[in-house]
Structure 1
């Protein structure tokens, strides 16, 4: 499902430095590279403003729904409405008209059939599977409006013309590979960590004890989420009890930690020279689909009622307009309390329940490799997500229960300092979501 380009995508040449603009002066002879350089500077500044100030995500529209034709189930469609979004790079994306994808037609393509067959190989009974795919909206561009160009004689016909314009475009895609973990995901994980702190019966007796508690929480957050965790210290893997009266202070501390230390590693400053992520896509939804193998191939299971398709948009990033933010439905809106979060601490072979949100693992003996099972996947909550960090010095082997798999394998190894963010499909299968480092 995509918007096709008339010509191959074209981009500003890599030689254009977005941190420089042309110093125009009388008598200067301007060439193509000068104009490209000036465009690169202003275009990069525009994206920088959007990305650093507003963020990324859906701006307007782009609702995701399922259209079902009771008379012909083969024409069941996934519909995405017209709308706008800002990509992780800050590039604006505009979808001018509703877009649709015939899901059963998509299931019949060769590469999709191969992937579903691989998932079916782990299932009993055969010829039925539950798949989890991610819908993303990505920015691209197209070189258009070909015009004659001067040049040497005896050129090929292709060299007689060249595109005169580069048009903004987009691509809507369904993929078995989860999107990268983005800024919104890390902020959600920080919030989950805050919610997972157990309540304390009393406030710390002195200001010094309060400061010590704040430092412990800050260290734990960095241990869980920093690209290179701090050196482990005794007590870092123990739960920190937090009195409700200190909650605003801790929220402020975690916010400052994110801005000053964690975010620059997730979203490198544009002047750092480290480059941006190659994935310039906005997640729209995760789809969990039950499929069966019929006479003509894989199709969505529609036995016994509605199509077995779950559309989960809980990880979808949004950007609020200033008008919405200032309204009663905006940033300051009164919301119900968040659900209880769970965090697990493991120092020996054991298990993590799939209902857990966060887990920190460290072998009590640095040389001991650990095996950790993931139990209780079940079918009730296919939108489950689990973040696990190996903060120790030994390898950790993750093994799902009930013959489950992680990325199609029986288990996954976590090296010291590594982390994994897992998404569950409701049928024993976990998929990893890559980080930005």
Structure 2
């Protein structure tokens, strides 16, 4: 890895001049999202971002779904911008997942610099990307350079809560915010994986699974724990969960997944066994888990609730599950889950978000390819299907039927031994300083070429 270059060593008008300092400021705001009624810090993040934009004459507007849940929208189109072209949307989110300080080796909200890295919650997800975008835009302003087309910038609230109070709310209540936008770039993608030949492969999200978070509840007869009870709600729930967990979901061969696997076979000189997919993908390291999860629908039990005393059989038992579906297979997955659960099981939706997919072509994709190659000659860019979700779910297809092509490219040139996937939402989240600087330079090129 190249030696980290600290921000004070950058030219004042360089794209990466402020990226570390801005990221530190963002990380030092605790914007943990514990749930709809337990979020914090989003207003402070929006205020900081709005201030950084205001300093270069960019006005922003705040939309609040609820008090303290702001989404910031700004338009950057300085004089000389080609206003005949559709706008490019760059978006991110202000919230982060919580961090338990006792588990970390540094204060998760300190923004500490250590061992060539910026440490803290959100450095990867996704305050680092916000810093890249802001540093690049501010540098272009100082240089007097316009973007290739108008740039819409949106800072969403509540992404870590599935976007209900952020991107989904904004698309439903203020679809006009997306007027003129045809393409969008954000997370999760753009990070590098090193192939056996030493080439860096950058994976760009062109599709993401949809989600159905739901609660299953069973009822039965209360009774004493010392007696047999064939009408036991806990047993009925456990049996339903067992059938769902044991189900073998079929490979659905999504085009983005198939393209990634085909390229993987060539670059790694191996053959993929679809029946032992995660094992076949082991050379990818931790990324193998994410890729392997994208050949089929997945359903994962995450929360169990039943009873209040060991010798009392309760009348109700419930479980919460995280189900993710391949684009185009939502209803098929839901019907299968309900069929596996069997009779006597009630279902309640906690959150249901659509999948998203876009063609791996067009101005934004061309700019991503060119920008990555410009900063990392020989870079290989591949599409992939993301097993998780982003704010794109909220607006990729607007209520009026408009479609926005959404891509995940947070540019991260990573050392070959850097465990990016495990640090995402993990303990001791951190990003190499040179990786942040690289990302800001790539974003600058995208603004020039998209």
TM-score w.r.t. length of structure 1: 0.26
> Comparing both structures, which one devotes a greater share of its residues to strand?
1
TM-score w.r.t. length of structure 2: 0.25
Greater C-alpha radius of gyration: 1
